[in-house]
A and B are shown apart, each in its own frame.
Chain A
Amino acid sequence: MTAVRATSLALRYGRTTALEDVSFSLRTGVTGLLGPNGAGKTTLLRIVATALPADGGTLRILGHDPGTPPGRLAVRRRLGYLPQDPGFHPSFTAFEFVDYVAILKELTHRSARHAEVARVLSAVGLDDRRRSRIRTLSGGMRQRLALAAALVGDPDLVILDEPTVGLDPEQRLRFRELIADLGERKTVLLSTHQTEDVMSLCQEVVVLDRGRVRFEGTPSELAGLAAGRVWTSTQRQAGALASWRTGTGLHRHVGDPPPGAALVEPSIEDGYLTLVGAATGAEAPATAGGAR
Chain B
Amino acid sequence: MTATSTLAPAPARPTPSSTDGRRQALLALARFEAFRMLRHPLTIAAALLFLGPWLWGWLSGSANRYPVLSDELIVIQLLALPILGGSALIVANLVTLRAHRHKVDASYDVLVLPPAWRLGGFLLALLSLAGVSLLLVGVRVGVSALLPGAVGSVDVATLVTPAALVLLLGAVGVFCGVLIRSVLVAPLAVLLVLVLELVATMPSIIGTGWRFLLPVYASEFPVPVPASVSDRPAARHLAYLVGLTVLLVAAVLARAAARRSFVAAALSVGLILAVGGGLTQSWPDPGMAAARATVEDRPASIQSCVTRADVTYCFFDGFGGFVSGWDEVVTSVRAVVPDSAASSGPPLAVRQRVPLEEISAYQTGSIAEAVRTVAAWKTADAAAGTPEAVRVGTEWGDARASAVLAAGVAYRLMAGEAFDGGFSLCGARAALLVWLVGQASPTTLAGMRSLDETSMGALSFSDVSTLFGISAPDRAAAPALALLKRPSAEVPPLVERHWAELTARDTPLERFGAIFGVPVQPLSPEEGEGLCTT
Residues of A within 8 A of B (CB): 49-51, 73, 76-77, 79, 81-83, 85-90, 99-101, 103-110, 112-113, 115-116, 119-120, 122-125, 140, 146, 149-151, 153-154, 170-171, 174, 177-178, 181-182, 185
Contact = CB atoms under 8 A, between A and B. Distances in A.
A245 B200 CA distance: 79
A98 B21 CA distance: 19
Nearest to A74: B16
Contact of B102 (A49, A76, A90, A171): A90
B9 A154 contact: yes
Q: What 3 pairs between A and B have smallest CB-CB spacing?
A: A154-B10, A87-B103, A108-B24
B533 interface: no
B108 interface: yes
B112 interface: yes
B7 A181 contact: yes
Nearest to A82: B107
A103 B107 contact: no
B5 A124 contact: yes
Nearest to A81: B110
Nearest to A104: B111
Given A90-B102, A171-B1, A106 B14 contact: yes
Interface stretch (B25-33, B83-91, B410-418): B25-33
Nearest to A77: B112
Interface in B1-29: 1-17, 21-22, 24-25, 27-29
21 contacts: A77-B16, A77-B17, A79-B110, A86-B104, A87-B99, A89-B98, A89-B102, A89-B104, A101-B108, A103-B113, A104-B25, A104-B111, A104-B113, A104-B118, A112-B11, A122-B8, A123-B5, A125-B3, A153-B13, A154-B10, A182-B7
B339 interface: no
Nearest to A134: B102
A200 B410 CA distance: 102
A105 B2 CA distance: 30
B107 A119 contact: no
B490 interface: no
A178 B5 contact: yes
Interface in B22-77: 22, 24-25, 27-29, 32
Contact of B103 (A85, A116, A149, A177): A85
Query: Which of the listed residues B5, B16, B98 has the most CB atoms from chain A within 10 Å of its own CB?
Result: B5
A100 B32 CA distance: 8
B102 A87 contact: yes
A177 B106 contact: no
B310 interface: no
B29 A107 contact: no
B35 to A, nearest CB: 9
B7 A104 contact: no
B4 to A, nearest CB: 7
B107 A112 contact: no
A185 B6 CA distance: 13
A106 B3 contact: no
A105 B7 contact: no
B1 A174 contact: yes
Contact of A154 (B1, B13, B99): B13
Nearest to A146: B107
A95 to B, nearest CB: 12
Contacts of A87: 99, 102-107
B109 interface: yes
A122 B113 CA distance: 25
Contacts of B4: 174, 177
A93 B2 CA distance: 21
Query: Which of the listed residues B98, B106, B109 has the most CB atoms from chain A within 10 Å of its own CB?
Result: B106
Contact of B5 (A49, A101, A108, A174): A174
Contacts of A185: 9
A51 B5 CA distance: 30
Contacts of B5: 122-125, 174, 177-178
Contacts of A153: 10, 13-14
A119 B10 CA distance: 8
A107 B112 CA distance: 10
Given A103-B32, A125-B5, A76 B25 contact: no
A83 B98 CA distance: 18
Contacts of A177: 4-6
A103 B102 contact: no
A112 B24 CA distance: 14
